Amino acid sequence: MGSQAQAASYGTPSIALSAGYLSGAVAATGDPTVNVTVGQSGADAGALAVTVTASTKTSVATTGDVTVTGTGATRRLAVAARGRGYTDLTVKVTGVDGQAATKTLHYAASAGVQQGVDSRYFTGSSDASAAVDVGGGYVVVADDESNVLRLYDRSSSGAPLKTWDFSSRIGVSKEIDIEGAARAGDTIYWTGSLGNNKDGEYKPARNTLFTTRVSGSGATTALSYGGSYKKLRDDLVAWDEAHGDRCGFAAGTADGKAPKEIDGFNVEGLEFAPGSTTTAYVGFRAPLAPAVSGGKALLVPVTNIDKVVGSGATAVFGTPIELDLGGLAIRDVRKNAANQYLIVAGSWAADDNTDPYALYSWDGNPAHAPAKARDLPTSDPGGWEAVIDVPDLTTPGARAQLLTDNGSADLYGDGTEAKDLTHPEWKKSRGTWFTVTG
């Protein structure tokens, strides 16, 4: 009778996971983890046992590849992937009286990558397209498949700490196709690609330049809406036509013209000119200048970008800048306070994740040529899309963190592009630190 009374004094154990879906990578450093919260009425939560008792695909992860740490009501569960693919892990809590409860963790593992130790994965989105450092080891990342801006810890893999979507304030219901960003003081400028969609159709939302205001920094960063301008593409075309169609913008934006062709029209970079907060360089993925194999990369200065967004003034443009990037186009451009620039150079083509990528340094002077800092690896999923910030390029061994757009990548070996995955926790872009100076 005594043992029955004792058993009756304990309730059924409870178990909850902070996320039901988790993504990792083979041989990764700092993969995301899941918190497991447990309890049992009448018992000390610290006396409860948390284990993983089953895996549906042991080639991805076995029960022995799972580590549970911590004490008390909340434990931390980490998985060390052994292969690419999916598995369901059974997470079990056992009460002090032997009663148990389980939850299923749906786990997905991507393949190992070069420089895995220097890589982190930002989850919740796979299509990272532009990034702005906000200090303290944090970054705001844009996505070219949605209008959501996300705040991440640069040093850790995992979900965003905060998100913002200013679509309603901007007055758009479709994707802006955010591809470039630049910061001046507490203002961040974000630009859409300005080009047609892949089918050559004009989508007005893509012709959007907007600003956000930054308050705080690091983990406390907050963004508020500034303003927007929806005629930058039109201004570029009109200006080019008035100057003899030097850049071919009218043809590049014509109905039926795909943007990611050598003579197309697609913006992917934005950064301020040296020492300026009013002149910004617009960097083009397409066209090349001239639009032939081996052509130069194109930057067009907008000399009044503050007034364009601030008061709706028509954009004024400076002399186009043509840079020799070895036949590659601009995928991103970023500078530091010392006006040292890094340019991510890649193909103008649409399906180019295995085509060459390179990183160039530049001083921002149109008369000066950029210098190749290094080639970038292309055998791993994703295309190199953004530089988060630029270190002091006079310091030997300086490192910069670059981001990939993984949207078209088959991360888990099932033929599904990352942008089409049904669970945001499985979507991810990769940030990798590279040494950029000798």
Looking at residue 8, its pLDDT comes to 61
Strand 100-110 with 21-25, pairing: parallel
Looking at residue 55, its pLDDT comes to 98
- Give, in degrees to the nearest 5, the angle at Cα 114 between 112 and 119: 80
| Cα 111 from Cα 433, distance rounded (Å) | 18
| Cα 271 from Cα 279, distance rounded (Å) | 9
Which of 337, 316, 309, 341 has the alpha carbon at shortest distance from 212?
309
- Enter the DSSP assignment of 158: B
Measured in whole angstroms, the distance separating CA 319 from the mean position of its chain's CA atoms is 31
Instruction: Record the tokens describing residue 298, joined without a space.
Output: 């194109």
- Burial grade of 18 (CB within 10 A; 0-12, 13-18, 19 or more): middle
Single-letter amino acid code for the residue at 171: G
**CB proximity list for 157: less than 8 A, separation 6 or greater:** 28, 30, 31, 32, 120, 121, 122, 123, 428
| Cα 59 from Cα 65, distance rounded (Å) | 11
| Cα 101 from Cα 15, distance rounded (Å) | 7
B/e letters for 176-190, b = 16+ CB within 10 Å, e = fewer, are: bbbbbbbbeeebbbb
**CB proximity list for 56: less than 8 A, separation 6 or greater:** 87, 88, 89
Looking at residue 350, its pLDDT comes to 82
Alpha-carbon dihedral 339, 237, 298, 175, rounded to 10 degrees: 80
- Give, in degrees to the nearest 5, the angle at Cα 130 between 129 and 134: 145
Looking at residue 249, its pLDDT comes to 98
pTM: 0.95
Residues 258-290 pLDDT 10s = 999 999 999 999 999 999 999 999 999 999 999
- Enter the DSSP assignment of 309: H
Which of 81, 89, 65, 64 has the alpha carbon at shortest distance from 24?
81
| Cα 269 from Cα 76, distance rounded (Å) | 39
Give the pLDDT means over successive 10-residue stretches in the chain (438 positions).
56 98 96 97 97 98 98 97 98 98 98 96 97 98 97 97 98 97 98 98 98 98 98 98 98 98 98 98 98 98 98 98 98 98 96 87 98 96 96 98 96 97 97 97
Residue with tokens 């399906």: 351
Instruction: Record the tokens describing residue 151, joined without a space.
Output: 């705040």
Looking at residue 28, its pLDDT comes to 95
What is the SS3 assignment for 294? coil
Q: In angstroms, what CA-CA distances link 186 with 78, 221, 274, 332, 401?
A: 38, 11, 17, 21, 22
Looking at residue 399, its pLDDT comes to 98
Which domains are present in the chain? 2-110 (2.60.40.1080), 117-435 (2.120.10)
| Cα 183 from Cα 165, distance rounded (Å) | 18
Looking at residue 3, its pLDDT comes to 44
Check if the beta carbon of residue 410 is closer than 8 Å to that of residue 381.
Answer: yes
**CB proximity list for 225: less than 8 A, separation 6 or greater:** 166, 169, 170, 210, 211, 212, 213
Looking at residue 6, its pLDDT comes to 52
Alpha-carbon dihedral 89, 95, 99, 104, rounded to 10 degrees: -20
Cβ neighbours, 10 Å, residue 219: 14
Which of 357, 343, 418, 329 has the alpha carbon at shortest distance from 114?
357
- Give, in degrees to the nearest 5, the angle at Cα 118 between 117 and 124: 100
- HEC string of 109-156? EECCCCCHHHEEEEECCCEEEEEEECCCCEEEEEECCCCEEEEEECCC
- Enter the DSSP assignment of 38: E
Check if the beta carbon of residue 246 is closer than 8 Å to that of residue 236.
Answer: no
Looking at residue 351, its pLDDT comes to 73
